Amino acid sequence: MTDETFSAEVDAAVARLAGVAERTPLQRNARLSALTGADVWVKREDLQVGRSYKIRGAYNTISRLSPAERSAGVVCASAGNHGQGVAYACRALQVHGHVFVPGTTPRQKRERIAALGGDMVQLVIVGDSYDEAAAAAAAHAAGTGATLVPAFDAMSTVTGQATVAVEVLEQLGSAPDVVVLPVGGGGLLAGCATWLREHSPGTRLVGVEPAGAANMAAALAAGEPVDLPEMDTFVDGAAVRRAGAVTYPLVRDSGAELVAVPEGQICTEMLDLYQADGVIAEPAGALATAALSGGLVTVEPRQTVVCVLSGGNNDVSRYAEVIERSLVHRGLKHYFLVEFPQEPGALRRFLDEVLGPDDDIVLFEYIKRDNRETGAALTGIELGRAEGLPELLARIEASPLRIQHVAPGSTAYRFLV
């Protein structure tokens, strides 16, 4: 498909989505602008229908179906956000649909799919990953004749997502220097990068993947889409094991850069968005701004930078884990196994001789066993400042107590965090 043909398809998608998808705000972000020295704007796709840009591709795909295809129904696999877009489109177009989601999909997203779809959509929970849900959805389509509505790997989805870039240029009134986009399967990046290549060729494109699910970077390194051998599903909205066959070549040919953001930095950015900006973002929603605030995307002073923030479906019950991961990422929280002599005053000596004046015990699990001379306690310590860790480790080394640092990445550590 030529750039001209692609642009025509995007124009058609803009027309279809008029009055259906929200024209989401483009807002200047004072925090990120002050942090980077650039003029940073945030495209608020978390305020979109379904709280993500996914409605754009889903509605664009379903609205193009023939009457016969609509009567056969549609089916999709989703980590949650695409399912909401499909559910909304099904209800709006009166098309019956099935939405397959993995068991890891947060309850909040499942409930929103059901609410948006109403009687037109059946929610099916299957497997533990997006890929397992995708296999089940494909099997359903093959067995029933329903049309599969891909979350990212179809040209109709890609051109629908590209309408985000159309709005950005219209709202900004000029070409941005840098556009930073979240990447799961690559639909948004493929669409926006291809459209911007013709309409704003001087704009630098950066795609941001979670470090635990960087499938597009793996595809570019291998020269083709490949399965990730391991995947962290914490960033559930972008946890895709394999880049799309449609999206991969578009991203490859776009010249877009790719960066991977650690999950802990994403959590830190989620908290900053909430506390400083009043924005509720899920992990995938904070990807783009996390790369900027974490220094993984370098920008020049006074450059115009646009970050797409999408989505806003965060389950409040996840915030405890978000805070935990952020503290660990910033070097403020550490875990130790402390072997105490089972005698009075042992804990007091630990507090006096090992713990610093600004440090705090936030976890202490210990069971006294009368048949042993010593007993191990799992101890979580939150530092007053990250730079205080070497001092703490020095006091531990000097202590007569046997203390083992639970190293990040170890089996015991993964059990804790």
**pLDDT (tens place) for every residue of the chain, 417 residues total:** 888 899 999 999 999 999 999 999 999 999 999 999 999 999 999 999 999 999 999 999 999 999 999 999 999 999 889 999 999 999 999 999 999 999 888 888 899 999 999 999 999 999 987 778 989 999 999 999 999 999 999 999 999 999 999 999 999 999 999 999 999 999 999 999 999 999 999 999 999 999 999 999 999 999 999 999 999 989 988 989 999 999 999 999 999 999 999 999 999 999 999 999 999 999 999 999 999 999 999 999 999 999 999 999 888 888 999 999 999 999 999 999 999 888 888 888 899 999 999 999 999 998 766 556 788 899 999 999 999 999 999 999 999 898 999 987 777 777 776
User: What is the per-residue pLDDT for 370?
Assistant: 58
- Could you name the CATH architecture of 3-51+156-325? 3-Layer(aba) Sandwich (3.40)
344: CB partners within 8 A, 6+ apart: none
User: What is the per-residue pLDDT for 336?
Assistant: 93
Which CATH number is correct for 331-416, 3.40.50.1000, 3.90.1580.10, 3.30.70.260, 3.30.465.10? Answer: 3.30.70.260
User: What is the per-residue pLDDT for 130?
Assistant: 78
Q: Which amino acid is at 397?
A: E
Q: In what order do the strands lie in the sheet with 304-309?
A: 26-28, 39-44, 304-309, 178-182, 204-210, 257-261
User: What's the Cα-to-Cα distance from 176 to each of 6, 35, 53, 203, 298, rounded to whole Å?
Assistant: 21, 18, 20, 6, 15
Spell out the alpha helix ranges (H) of 145-232: 155-161, 163-172, 187-199, 215-222
User: Where do the DSSP E strands lie in 211-318?
Assistant: 257-261, 304-309
Spell out the alpha helix ranges (H) of 357-410: 389-398
Kindly report, as residue ranges, where domains of CATH 3.40.50.1100 are found in the chain. 3-51+156-325, 54-153
User: What is the per-residue pLDDT for 415?
Assistant: 72
User: What is the per-residue pLDDT for 267?
Assistant: 97
- The topology under which CATH files domain 54-153 is Rossmann fold (3.40.50)
User: What is the per-residue pLDDT for 329?
Assistant: 93
| pTM beyond 0.95 | no
